[in-house]
């Protein structure tokens, strides 16, 4: 027996031992019905209707009931196999002896019915074997594909909960800035992460796009979010935050090829902002006064790709009503039927045209326009930050 076969057998054994008793009861009922049919077909047809009907039915019920109990015992307690096998063998020996106590029916005993008797016996054996094989196939399916389905379903549910925790809708506001954010994963476990933190002096928000999907990417996202939140609590330049975060993620990814692109802004009073990008696309800057859009771009390595990578951050200024748009590549890379991408330019046009609307309306319009352009193929995440005009303005 190979190690793989042994592990699969242990996995199936554990699976059956953890199946709820209510489900085992249904399996027992199906086994009882299947093997009662087996007993009836092999006994009544196999003996050419020689036994009384009541005894044929009783014998079939006994056979079906004991066989169901035997198989359930094997599922829950595999060590009972020898005992169950001995009892089943005794049952198969005793029941035919009881058959001899009843007078045999002579309806099909004549020489002219030899072919009929042969056909009945053959049909009984074939019907019994077919029913047994059908039930056995069902049990094997439940014990192999059923395990895979349960595992996959569990992973999907866990991934969905992780996604809801790691990438919830954002809504934050202080005296100087308003933040809104939304993430639409392409599967139960997307690779995009967004967050926002406030302190007495600033408001910071960021998003990350982790390579890959599934539980592995979700665990990496959880570690990244924890690390970023911890780092943002300390008033350090973003270039130092990126360097420390890069080192942490490089070490905790345990040799895998996982990495993350990253975009972050820290907004202070007076419209002063600090921004940093790591392998990420540009931040769009909507200028309320001129009704146009510019790009804040930086060429730097993604996080977790290389140990000891160097990073920098830059400063910019927001005027009242200006908007910053941080987004992952899922939105601009949506393609239509002609393989034309939605593009940053089109997103900038929407910002310029509807920049005076509320951030919630603006996010809704951007995602709606993207849906009209083409089908979603990747995670789509967007954060909007607006500098709130002062009351005096």
Question: Whose CA is closest to 388, among 222, 173, 220?
Answer: 173
pLDDT for residue 4 is more than 60:
no
Q: What is the pLDDT of residues 21-43, one digit of tens each?
A: 777 777 778 888 888 887 777 77
Question: Whose CA is closest to 31, among 94, 107, 84?
Answer: 84
pLDDT: is 133 or 293 the higher one?
293
Distance CA 18, CA 24 (A): 10
Please give the class, per CATH, of domain 168-387: alpha beta
Provide the sign of the torsion angle of the four alpha carbons 15, 18, 21, 23, taken in this order: negative
Report pLDDT for 39: 78
Report pLDDT for 265: 95
Buried b or exposed e, range 275-292, using 16+ CB within 10 angstroms: bbbbbbbbbbbbbbeeee
Question: Whose CA is closest to 351, among 288, 266, 298?
Answer: 288
Domain boundaries, the chain: 3-161, 168-387
Q: What is the pLDDT of residues 230-286, one digit of tens each?
A: 877 777 889 998 998 898 888 877 677 788 899 999 999 889 999 999 999 999 999
Report pLDDT for 136: 75
Across the chain, mean pLDDT equals: 81
């Amino acid at each position: 027996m190979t190690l793989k076969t042994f592990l699969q057998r242990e996995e199936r054994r554990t699976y059956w031992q953890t199946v709820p008793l209510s489900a085992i009861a249904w399996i027992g009922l199906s086994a009882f019905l299947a093997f009662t049919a087996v007993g009836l077909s092999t006994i009544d047809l196999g003996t050419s209707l020689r036994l009384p009907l009541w005894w044929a039915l009783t014998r079939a019920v006994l056979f079906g009931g004991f066989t169901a109990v035997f198989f359930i015992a094997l599922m829950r307690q595999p060590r009972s196999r020898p005992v169950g096998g001995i009892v089943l063998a005794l049952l198969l020996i005793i029941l035919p002896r009881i058959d001899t106590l009843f007078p045999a029916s002579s309806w099909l005993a004549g020489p002219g019915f030899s072919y009929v008797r042969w056909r009945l016996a053959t049909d009984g054996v074939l019907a019994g074997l077919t029913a047994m094989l059908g039930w056995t196939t069902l049990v094997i399916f439940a014990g192999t594909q059923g395990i895979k389905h349960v595992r996959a379903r569990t992973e999907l549910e866990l991934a969905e909960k992780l996604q809801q925790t790691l990438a919830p809708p954002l809504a934050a506001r202080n005296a100087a800035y308003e933040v809104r954010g939304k993430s639409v994963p392409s599967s139960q476990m997307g690779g995009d992460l967004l967050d926002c933190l406030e302190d007495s002096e600033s408001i910071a928000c960021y998003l990350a796009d982790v390579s890959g999907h599934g539980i592995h990417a979700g665990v990496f996202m959880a570690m990244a979010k924890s690390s970023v939140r911890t780092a943002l609590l300390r008033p350090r330049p973003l270039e130092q935050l990126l360097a420390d975060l890069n080192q942490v993620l490089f070490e905790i990814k345990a040799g895998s090829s996982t990495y993350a692109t990253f975009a972050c802004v820290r907004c202070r009073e007076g419209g002063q902002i600090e921004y940093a990008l790591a392998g990420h696309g540009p931040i769009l800057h909507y200028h309320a006064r001129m009704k146009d859009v510019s790009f804040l771009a930086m060429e730097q390595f993604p996080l977790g790709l290389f140990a000891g990578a160097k990073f920098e951050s830059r400063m910019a200024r927001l005027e009242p009503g200006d908007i910053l748009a941080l987004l992952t590549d899922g939105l601009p890379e949506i393609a239509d039927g002609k393989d034309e991408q939605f593009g940053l330019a089109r997103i900038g046009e929407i910002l310029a045209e509807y920049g005076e609307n509320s951030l919630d309306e603006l996010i809704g319009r951007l995602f709606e326009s993207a849906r009209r352009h083409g089908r979603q193929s990747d995670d789509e995440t967007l954060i909007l930050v607006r500098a709130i005009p002062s009351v005096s303005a």
